[in-house]
Amino acid sequence: MKTRDECVDALTKWWVNDTVGNIIFYRAPGARYGDAILEQVIKAREMEPHIRAAFEMLMDELGIERAEMFRDKDGKPDRIKVTRKFDG
């Protein structure tokens, strides 16, 4: 979690580095700390070859059209929400 000043620093770095994507700041009501999340779209052609191969295999094997991936509370990969064609 970040202090207000650390959040301002994160925003400044995001801006100065010309980072592509959305930066989202959040904190609980009355909390002294918050955090920042960077939301980006990463195209397959921008990925390292081994990551692209794994990504393509995952998409193809599960028949994925769209997906969101999530980690558990310990930061480990946990689940994936997929959208795929359904022929009934």
Residue 21 and residue 46 share a domain: no
Same domain as 46, residue 31? no
Per-residue pLDDT band for 20 (boundaries 50, 70, 90) equals very high
Task: Determine contact, residues 54/62, Cβ cutoff 8 Å.
Answer: no
Residues 52 and 33 in one domain: no
| 32 and 8 within one domain | yes
> Do both 87 and 47 map to the same domain?
yes
Number of domains in the chain: 2
Question: Do 4 and 23 fall into the same domain?
Answer: yes
Three-state DSSP state, 32: coil
At 37-86, the pLDDT tens digits run: 999 999 999 999 999 999 999 999 999 999 999 999 999 999 999 999 99
Instruction: Name the band, by pLDDT with cuts 50, 70 and 90, for residue 18.
Output: very high
Rounded to an integer, what distance in angstroms lies between the CA atom of residue 17 and that of residue 11?
Answer: 10
Distance CA 57, CA 20 (A): 26
Q: Is the pTM here over 0.85, yes or no?
A: no
Together in a domain, 35 and 50: no
Please list the residues that pair with 41 across neighbouring strands: none
pLDDT in the model for residue 88:
83
Domain range holding 29?
Answer: 1-41
Q: Same structural domain for residues 55 and 84?
A: yes
Distance, CA of 65 to CA of 83 (rounded, Å):
6
| Helix (H), strand (E) at residue 25 | strand 22-26
